[in-house]
Structure 1
């Protein structure tokens, strides 16, 4: 394998701590463990980014110094910028106009070229519009490589190390709670963890308006989890249940975490924290672990901005202490926290028993 251009960077990916969180979310609970990937230099998705680029280099699909082109809603972009510096590749990121200007500036500051699409695809929304621009850029740039985070098996493979760190730090767990976007960290982490803890249960956390688990596609405020396409990295057969969380609920969780635990984050962090607290409260003695993918800095103009939250109706609303139960993902369209124990791949006619 070709040596990294900046090997010192890669040492910053590992060794993130576990915190025991007791913040009321919204009620008291016995506590859960959170892997603080926000304290990694490139955030959680830098693990996947490095894995995907290294895999492509080892197969000869990515030549030394060749450009890497990918679609991102922000977090993977930071990870790819990290991987590009570590491994010596220029990074071209396709974002959409709804991505925060501060995040665009950060990506450019890390050396990435940022391409912005200005209108959503009529069927696949912003995600599909970004992917179409990725394909155009790959045709234009000599030697360009597209990691295809949604379908690339090197994405989940990047989280084996994260899972082994959890095992070393925690020793045992009963429930893993993961946000689901590309499907990478849930698939990679649970497969490794179940080699140590075969009875570990996996709870997936999606956002309302996402199609991943069979709900209809709608405009989504929450970024970083959810999808308007069907990523093949989502390991449907590994999930025991799925929860959908609304943006008001995620905002409440993020703000509670910031005020009481000091460690907080974005939409994914708020969503998984709410569900992890519920899981810990539901059955006394259950050891629950989750992953906080990034920190709060990116969300100062959204989650932590009162004007933004009021404009979107996200403040001063009652927060349930348990989800609404639905029998099947197509039983009804959910608009807030809901739970379903029938997990299946919407792109397949075969249902996966929970």
Structure 2
């Protein structure tokens, strides 16, 4: 069917992605190839959040969408905005790849670029602080809030339904964790058919999500400096932390052996899915490759960049087992089978989660500049 720009028919381009069998030693696992879908994996979440907000009356026709992103959700929002008739304004940071900035410019998406990380919350908190200022200054704007919005997870029910039609059985789901949405959504659907499904989360070394201390990370789209409420901790049987060098090695090995390639989340998920398949021969392991390689040609697949960042170290062949999430700091690939929400006693979410204080008039700690769709910086 032909899709006209700015029409709901664009939504028909999202999803219906294939699966592939990937060899891991003498075993195999199945990967859902979300890079094939227009707008990438997070277009599913973007449409779900915007459609649900419009149905509730929270999102007015033609209203501006403002969101914080490391990049991937921004691509999904760009497509969803065009399909549903909303301009999109993204709060990004200085580490966003130049190629992706160029793509956003081509899409007509306005960027607010945060230039200094928050002293305790990193780039994510700095982006959220700037986002709060923009919301306060933009009447009628809507913030999807990918980190805490349950409609994020709901957007992946269709992916789960596709998987049920594509595979016979799944014993283990391996899912990379950023906002937590796709793992939560998939687990709900898959456990309706397979109630004993084991779920392994894949986080980044230096991420706070599973109780480790926040540290500066090269990897984007995987891990978090804040604690997203969409992470459903009771769903997990195990968590793995993967560092940048291990993700690079996994990405390059995957590309060289299969012709499939992707970014940080894809490499980390492939590493852990291969480990799970080899460790438990006969188990049906499923993972999701969220994106393709094009955004990473100047980083993960660039020898000079990897040398400059010391990413050609020999990775560990197996993960270190940690007795608890926060008792020992993961310095490289590590795993833990005792899962607990590190903020189990936190207070209920404010009316606008994560930025309520800023909206009451407090100022953010970062500085920002604005890039218009034609690339002019102000």
> TM-score per shorter chain, which class?
over 0.9
Q: Distance in 2 between matches of 1:29 and 1:192?
A: 29
Q: Distance in 2 between matches of 1:39 and 1:309?
A: 26
Residue 328 of structure 1 deviates from its aligned partner by: 0.2
Q: Which 5+ residue runs of structure 2 have no aligned equivalent?
A: 347-378
TM-score (ref. length: structure 1): 0.95
- Which residue does the alignment assign to 1:302? 299
Residue 117 of structure 1 deviates from its aligned partner by: 0.5
Q: Which runs of 4+ in 1 moved over 6 A?
A: none
SS at match of 1:291: strand
- Which residue does the alignment assign to 1:61? 58
Residue 12 (1) aligns with residue 13 (2) = yes
SS at match of 1:264: coil
Residue 349 of structure 1 deviates from its aligned partner by: 5.3
Which 10-residue stretch deviates more, 106-115 or 235-244?
106-115
Q: Distance in 2 between matches of 1:112 and 1:349?
A: 38
1:318 to 292, 314, 319: 314
- Which residue does the alignment assign to 2:155? 158
Count of residues in Structure 1 that have an aligned counterpart in Structure 2: 342
SS at match of 1:265: coil
Asked if structure 1 preserves the Cα contact closer than 8 Å seen for 2:29 and 2:284, the reply is yes
Q: RMSD of aligned C-alpha atoms?
A: 1.2
Asked if structure 1 preserves the Cα contact closer than 8 Å seen for 2:15 and 2:34, the reply is no
TM-score (ref. length: structure 2): 0.89
Alignment of 1:186-201 (within 5 A): 186-201=183-198
- Which residue does the alignment assign to 2:255? 258
SS at match of 1:343: coil
1:33 to 30, 35, 41: 30
Higher RCO, 1 or 2 (CA under 8 Å, sep at least 6)?
2
Q: Distance in 2 between matches of 1:135 and 1:106?
A: 25
Q: 1:29 to 1:76 in 2, by over 3 A?
A: farther
Residue 75 (1) aligns with residue 72 (2) = yes
Residue 243 (1) aligns with residue 244 (2) = no
Residue 202 (1) aligns with residue 199 (2) = yes
Residue 7 of structure 1 deviates from its aligned partner by: 2.0
Residue 335 (1) aligns with residue 367 (2) = no
Which 10-residue stretch deviates more, 256-265 or 235-244?
256-265
Q: Distance in 2 between matches of 1:329 and 1:29?
A: 31
